[in-house]
Structure 1
């Protein structure tokens, strides 16, 4: 029998349901395709608890720049307008939206 030292178990922090859902929604909103079309539809997953879903959707609804449509199938479509500080020519010239998304914090 060989004697191997066991590596100390790595500790990882569990993220809350609200944090997990917020990260997913933020990632969807900041996706280059969503940024181009300026809308995204968010579906509630089985792992999204009712309280977490309501909290995150409430935070989105309180964000003045966002327009939410609650769909019959339980999904939510989030829409936003091109911001005044974004020049339309720069936007369509293919500027790097991912770099912009990393610099900007999510609205929730």
Structure 2
């Protein structure tokens, strides 16, 4: 028998979705991505992710009238950076290959 599988929290699911959007090839090429809150994302989880992103150096956030957010960033430097929210969700940046969050 396999061990019971832990289900991801809403915050973890949102963090993974936002990370995937940020790390998509098109977003990486343009250093820009539009993220949005889904109906399944709680306001609390969305707020936690927005707070985490707002604490990221080199990241510009533009809040749109429809509730979406445009993230833009400069080319990363040569070091890796992990931002830990303290809530079991991490957005990871690995040097030049990915965005700075």
Q: TM-score range by the shorter chain?
A: 0.7 to 0.9
Other structure's SS at 2:66 match: coil
How much has 1:83 moved relative to structure 2? 2.6
Partner of 2:66: 73
Q: What's the RMSD between the two structures over aligned residues?
A: 2.0
Once the two structures are superposed, what CA deviation does each residue of 1:5-49 show, in whole Å capped at 9, x if it has no partner? xxx587221111111111101111110100001100001101100
Partner of 2:51: 58
Between Structure 1 and Structure 2, which shows a larger proportion of helix residues? Answer: 1
Partner of 1:18: 11
Q: How many residues align?
A: 83
Q: Structure 2: where are the runs of 5+ without partners? A: 79-96
Partner of 1:46: 39
Distance 1:21 1:75 in 2: 14
Distance 2:76 2:3 in 1: 43
TM-score, length-scaled by structure 2: 0.73
Partner of 1:92: none
Q: Structure 1: where are the runs of 5+ without partners? A: 1-7, 86-99
Kindly report structure 1 stretches of 4+ aligned residues shifted beyond 2 Å: 8-11
Structure (1 or 2) with the larger CA radius of gyration = 1
TM-score, length-scaled by structure 1: 0.69
